[in-house]
Amino acid sequence: MASSTPDWSAFRRDFPILNQQVHGHPLVYFDNAATSQKPRQVIDALVKYYEHDNANVHRGIHELSNRATNAYEGARKRAAQFINAASADEIVFTRGTTEAINLVATAWGNKFVKESDVILLTEMEHHSNIVPWQLLAERTGAKLRYLPITEDEHLLDLPKLDELLTPEVKIFSMVHISNALGVVNPVAELCARARKNGTVTLVDAAQSAGHCPLDVQEIGCDFLAVSGHKMCAPTGIGFLHGRAEILDQTPPYHGGGEMIATVDYFKSTWNKIPHKFEAGTPDISGPIGLHVAMDYLDAIGRDKLFQHDQELSQYAYDRLAEVSGTRLFGPKAGRAGLVSFLLDDVHAHDVVTIADRFGVALRGGHHCTQPLMKKLGVPSTARASFYFYNTTDEVDRLIEVVHEIKKFFGN
C-alpha cells in the first residue's frame, strides 16, 4: 500500500475515456455510483484473455482451458483476499449485487424463512435489496419490517433497532453505503446486534467495496454482496460472499452444468461450494477483469481512496450548500463520495439535462430508491457521485454549472 498521498489527477491517464469533450466541454464524469470507468489495465486484461487464453473453465484438460480455469479461480482467491473472507470457497461469482441478493433471498430464503418470520431492512435500501425480499415474503407469508431513518440527516435511527430486532427477525439485510444519501452505515455494529439476536445478516456492499477497506470477518456478516462494475471492473461480474457454514446449508439457486456432483434421470447431487451456486458456463473474462481492478485499487490503497472520496464529497456538499435555493440530502459530515441535491423548483431531470450540455455527467431520478424518495417527500434528486480520479477542479466546474442552471431557470 502506498504511504504518501497519491497524485489523484495522475490516475486519469489510466482512464482513456475521461479524456474527451462532451458537447464541446471537457467531460466531468460524476456518475460513478451508477458505474465507474475502467482503467486501461482492466481493458488490456480482457483483450489479452480473448487474444491468448479464451476457453471454457473446469472442463478441458488442454492448455487454454487450464489457463482460463487458473485465471478464473485465481480471481476468486483474490476476491476472498479483497474482503478478508476465510476461504475462496466463500466467494460465489454473480452478475453483481442484484443477483447476489436474489440468490440469498431465493435459495437461502426458500429453505429457512417461514410464515412467522420477519425480514428486517432499512428505509434507505436500493430496490435490489427490497424487491427480492418482497418476493420471498409473498412466497412464504413472512413480514417485512424497516429500520427508519432520522428526519434531519437521514441516518439510520439506531435507537429504534432494539424494538425492531425481535426474536422473529430471521434476516436483517442492510446497505453499507447509501447510493442516494451518501450515508455510511455502521454495519459491524448492526451485524453484532443481529448476531446476538440469532438473526442472519446480509450487507449490500455495492457502493462500498471499491471505495473503502472491507473486512467481512471484522464486519461479522453472514452474506455480503458486491458489484464489480462500480469498482473499475467490467459490467456483468460481481460476487456474493457467504460464510462457508451457511452456504453449505443453502440449496442451489440455478440448476445445470457445473453445479452438480452426479446426475441421474430422476435425482441429482450437488457439487461443493462455491460451484454449487455457479450453474452453466460463467462469465470468465469478468472475474479476470475484476482481479486486475482489485489489484489496481489496492495499489492505491482503499483507505486513501475513501479519504479522497470523503474530502471531495464534503467539498461538494459545502460548496452546494453555499448556493441559495439548494436542498441537500443526507449527513452534513462523514458522508461517502456522493451528494444528492435539488435546486429550487427545478426538476432533477432538468438539472441533469442541462449539466450534460456543459459536459457534466450527473444522475437524476429516484436512484432505484423509490420508497426512500417518498419518505424524503421528493420524486427524485440530482446526484453527483465521485471516484478517485475526480478532482476539486471538477467540483468547481459543477458549481459553475449549477449557477448556469439557476440562471437558465431565472433563479
Active-site residue numbers?
368
Given the complex with ligand 7TS, which of 90 and 204 has the nearer CB atom? Answer: 204
CA angle 101–92–247, rounded 5-degree value:
75
Rounded to 5°, angle at Cα 158 from 156 and 161: 115
| Residue 34 Cβ vs ligand 7TS, minimum distance, rounded to whole Å | 4
Cβ proximity of 264 and 9 under 8 Å: no
How would DSSP label each residue in 134-154? Answer: HHHHHHH--EEEEE-B-TTT-
Q: Which of 252, 302, 244 minimizes the C-alpha distance to 278?
A: 252
User: Which is nearer to ligand 7TS, 271 or 310 (by Cβ)?
Assistant: 310
Indicate the residue among 179 and 380 with the shorter CB distance to ligand 7TS: 179
Q: What is the Cα–Cα distance from 24 to 10, expressed in whole angstroms?
A: 23
CB of 385 to ligand 7TS, least distance (A): 7
**Shortest Å, Cβ 367 to ligand 7TS:** 5
The two beta strands, 223-227 and 200-204, are parallel
Count Cβ atoms within 10 A of the Cβ of residue 404 and give its class: 0-12 exposed, 13-18 middle, 19 or more buried. middle
What does the alpha-carbon distance between residue 29 and residue 36 come to, in Å, rounded to a whole number?
A: 9
Q: Which is nearer to ligand 7TS, 68 or 387 (CB)?
A: 387
Rounded Cα–Cα distance for residues 123 and 159 (Å): 15
Q: Give min distance, CB of 174 to ligand 7TS, in A.
A: 10
CB-based contact 94:239 (threshold 8 Å): yes
Q: Which is nearer to ligand 7TS, 94 or 314 (CB)?
A: 94
CB 260 to ligand 7TS: min, Å: 27
Which residues contribute to the site for ligand 7TS (CB under 6 A)? Answer: 33-34, 96-98, 126, 128-129, 175, 179, 204, 206-207, 227, 363, 367-368
**Helices (runs of H) and strands (runs of E) counted in the chain:** 14, 17
Minimum distance from residue 97 beta carbon to ligand 7TS (Å): 4
252 close to 279: Cβ distance less than 8 angstroms: yes
For ligand 7TS, the closer of residues 53 and 341 by Cβ is 341
Distance CA 243, CA 146 (A): 25
Task: Residue count of the chain, please give it.
Answer: 411
Q: How far is the CB of 338 from ligand 7TS (least distance, A)?
A: 8
* Complex with ligand 7TS: residue 98 or 106, whichever CB lies closer: 98
Q: In angstroms, how far is the first alpha carbon of the chain from the final one?
A: 47
Q: HEC profile for 374-409?
A: HHHCCCCEEEEECCCCCCHHHHHHHHHHHHHHHHHC
